[in-house]
Amino acid sequence: MPRFLSAICAGLVLCATLASAVQNVKVQGANFVNNVTSNRFQIIGVACVAQVIPAWKIIITDIPSSYQPGGSDAFSATSDTDPLSNGTSCLRDAALMQQLGINTIRVYNVDPTLNHDLCASIFNAVGIYMFIDVNSPLPLQSLDPGNLVTSYSSTYLNHIFSVVEAFGPYPNTLAFISANEVMNTVATGQTAPPYLRAVTRDLKNYISNHLNRSIPVGYSAADVSQILTDSWTYLSCDINGQSSDPSRSDFFGLNSYSWCGPTSLTANYDASGYNTIISTFGNTSIPVFFSEYGCNRVEPRVFDEVPVLYGNMTSVMSGGLVYEYYEEDNNYGLVWIYDNGTAQLRNDYNALQTQYNTLDVKSLESMDSSATSVQSQKCSSSLISSSGFNTSFTLPAVPSGGQTLIDNGISNPNQGKLVSVTTTAVADTVYDANGNIIKNLAIKPLADDESNTPDGSNTTGQSSSTTAAIPSPTKKGAAGRKKIGAHGLVGLMALSFFFQF
């Protein structure tokens, strides 16, 4: 199959030889496992939705706190970017993420026609894996819960298979997320489950036919308590008791914002329902993890759920992805990003880094042999406990034209490939949460048998001694906005409009 030429991006020099590769991660029972070392892989990660703020907008008095051309809200058919298409930005973010200590990112909206080689190679070089969502908010590129029959089409399949072709060749593509929160009400628990299994089936059959390795496929669930257990049960059982059933989800992600500290850890463990999560998924036969977490109801966030998630919960949970890397209107971000490339860390970044630095990664990698040998249940209507949830395991047939795509492949796929990353220093100016310029920011390539881990670093302590002469940011109002005063405007202009207040 043809391959795109690698892009030469923003002064980064690429050569044609392949870069070193991280080791693949596979699913074994209820764990993610390093395919070479057989160590357990715990997800220590962040979710990434591309958020940028136009520099010109920060001189206006009352502006939205974020803006994202090419991000989830503004992702469009005419856009020529996505979160993994700009090598300069990826180098900056990879350096900050490596310093933060994560080993995984989740990327929601990608354009499979773009070149992602440099970004994927940069994250590969620093030992960071990628969860890739195959859907997008564009028409015919996701399942519509209100119109499942029509949206499940060969056009839709062509799109998600294009994402598989674009990202499947990268060794640090950990998994594909087949759908996100399609079951977001009790009512959708009646209609959507067979379609979710059908999409998983089609993706896994396509991967089996057209990629040179197996890549896990799974679902990211909304935290709808009435149907949560049945969603997991329905997606993880084996139809007809076949362990090789391709419609069975390889993992189950949970988007949960129930831990809203700080209170005592004991009180929060129960109040958040983490104790219920452990009992609910205690006999899981597939990996379960937080595909989003990080409540911001109480600010600043201190992330005191992190030592709990990576403590006694590891008997069941495979880690999680903090929502989210880029700051936007909902105020969940770790980092401010401006469209001129300038970035500034938020206090949430430092708080999360402090919590990650307490983790014992060697202990997290130790294998639970019983978890890897758990057998899945045979699908049966008797497994479903909530009234109204779908109990049929008869799946929709592949839509017209879809089986041809699965058998023969899509036409003219854009297949990614690793390229060598020869520039490691970050060109963009990055400030810490106190307004200090972070000096000598760069990625540190790892050996090909390593994934990134927390290293005990303190980002603020690595900054320069020079503080930008700017006023402190004001707090956001209820509408998620920040105000710029007259004195702040002078400072902004002096800094080439790099900051937002």
With residues binned 3-state (H G I as helix, E B as strand, rest as coil), the percentages for the chain, rounded to 5, are: 30, 20, 55
> In terms of Cα–Cα distance, which of 337, 382, 354 is closest to 499?
337
What's the distance, CA 445 to chain centroid?
21
Q: Rounded to whole angstroms, how far apart are CA atoms 452 and 469?
A: 35
- 181 catalytic per annotation: yes
- Residue pair 67/52 in contact by the 8 Å Cβ criterion: yes
- Residue pair 217/178 in contact by the 8 Å Cβ criterion: yes
Annotated catalytic residue: which of 292, 305, 324, 327?
292
Residue with tokens 């907008």: 57
- 365 catalytic per annotation: no
> In terms of Cα–Cα distance, which of 220, 164, 184, 227 is closest to 1?
164
Query: What is the SS3 assignment for 218?
Result: strand
> In terms of Cα–Cα distance, which of 242, 246, 232 is closest to 193?
232
- 184 burial via Cβ count (<10 Å: 0-12, 13-18, 19+): middle
- Phi/psi at 415 (5° precision): -100, 125
CB atoms within 10 A of CB 279: 10
- Residue pair 322/334 in contact by the 8 Å Cβ criterion: yes
Q: Rounded to whole angstroms, how far apart are CA atoms 162 and 112?
A: 6
Give 365-427 as a DSSP string. Answer: HS--HHHHTPPPPBP-GGG--STTS-----PPPPPTTHHHHHHH--SS--B----EE---B--
Annotated catalytic residue: which of 165, 181, 305, 327?
181
> In terms of Cα–Cα distance, which of 292, 454, 264 is closest to 359?
454
* Cross-strand pairs, 32: 27, 41
Q: Rounded to whole angstroms, how far apart are CA atoms 107 and 116?
A: 12
> In terms of Cα–Cα distance, which of 345, 366, 347 is closest to 355?
347
Question: Residue 393, CB half-sphere, CA atoms under 13 Å: how many?
Answer: 21
> In terms of Cα–Cα distance, which of 491, 473, 495 is closest to 482?
473
Angle made by CA atoms 216, 72, 178, in degrees to the nearest 5? 20
Q: Rounded to whole angstroms, how far apart are CA atoms 50 and 311?
A: 31
Taking only Cα atoms into account, the Rg of the chain, rounded to an integer number of angstroms, comes to 22
Q: State the catalytic residues.
A: 181, 292
